[in-house]
Amino acid sequence: MQHYIPFPDISPIVFTIHLFGASFSLRWYAVAYILGLVIGWRIVVSLVKHPRLWPGDRSPMQPRQVEDLLTWVILGVVLGGRTGFVLFYEPAFYFSHPWQIPQVWHGGMSFHGGLLGVMLAVTLFCRHHKIPLLQTADALAVATPPGLMLGRIANFINNELWGLPSHVPWAVAFPGPAASNCGPGWVGVCTRHPSQLYEAGMEGVILGTILLYLAWRTGALKHAGRLLGVFLTGYGIARFIVEFFREADPEFRSISDPMGNVVEFGHGLGGLSMGQVLSLPMIIVGLFFLWRSYWRRAG
């Protein structure tokens, strides 16, 4: 007997308002972004309110400055996330339909693109306000995992980014295209790894718990760049692992052999998915910041 979990009947839309002949819908994905930013903002405020956590017992910024930083971070997340999705995942489609690039309400955000956008925005903010960049990055590293967790849960509710076909007892019977694409030879209901929830647990709960513990209990914030290194390395490793259980991106699901026959396969780019390719530099940069924080301490 096949054991699996039915997909929960949760609408991706929280509510819809009809005004003057137009409809405005609030989606869980938007709620996840909003809550993630608010929770992250409160975490950073809490950290800077405790000077003892920072080098020389001096916080890198005042709590009131965190609100200004939040505005810059939001711009970095939205602009960077959308640009990254367009360039990394579906450039051919969006370059032929450029009017759809600004339509972020239809979905399509890249974490790696958002990260690059935030890095640029935070760098400009810190230079403008003469605030220590690495210490600010450490605070944001601690604040990011709750948003990642909520975002992945929203992906699950939206029935997107589902995992590979699987018969594990906790596999989920996703509706729609996921229900009819388990491949030839599949027996029974098409069920898949809930890879969105794997990511929510690894990138959100586990990584977030580690960062909070290091920040509040070990004095890691006194070593500029250390928690940034933990975050980049931890996220990169978590994402790299989860990608083995996640359905390959559409542009990497099939190739043609030299005879012109279509060959189906799970990952492209030398056996790696796009998520794994983009995560490798994160791991390398994260390890560099970890090494740097310990080297400076030793020196």
Q: What is the DSSP letter of 7?
A: P
Residues 6+ apart with CB under 8 A from 61: 48, 69, 129, 131, 136
Question: What's the confidence (pLDDT) of residue 260?
Answer: 41
From 129, 116, 131, 203, select the one nearest 161 (Cα to Cα): 203
pLDDT at 266: 45
CB-count burial class (<10 Å; 0-12, 13-18, 19+) for 123: middle
pLDDT digits (tens), the chain, 299 positions? 788 999 998 898 888 888 777 777 788 888 998 999 999 999 999 999 999 999 999 999 999 999 999 999 999 988 998 898 888 778 888 888 788 787 766 667 787 888 899 999 999 999 999 999 999 999 999 999 999 999 999 999 999 889 999 999 999 999 998 998 788 888 889 999 999 999 999 999 999 999 999 999 999 999 999 999 999 999 999 999 999 999 876 554 444 333 444 434 445 556 788 889 989 999 999 999 999 998 875 43
Could you tell me where the beta strands, DSSP code E, fall in the chain? 5-6, 13-19, 22-27, 172-173, 254-256, 262-264
Which DSSP string corresponds to 190-204? Answer: --B--HHHHHIIIII
Q: What is the pLDDT of residue 269?
A: 55
Global pTM reads: 0.85
In the annotated binding site, the residues are 152
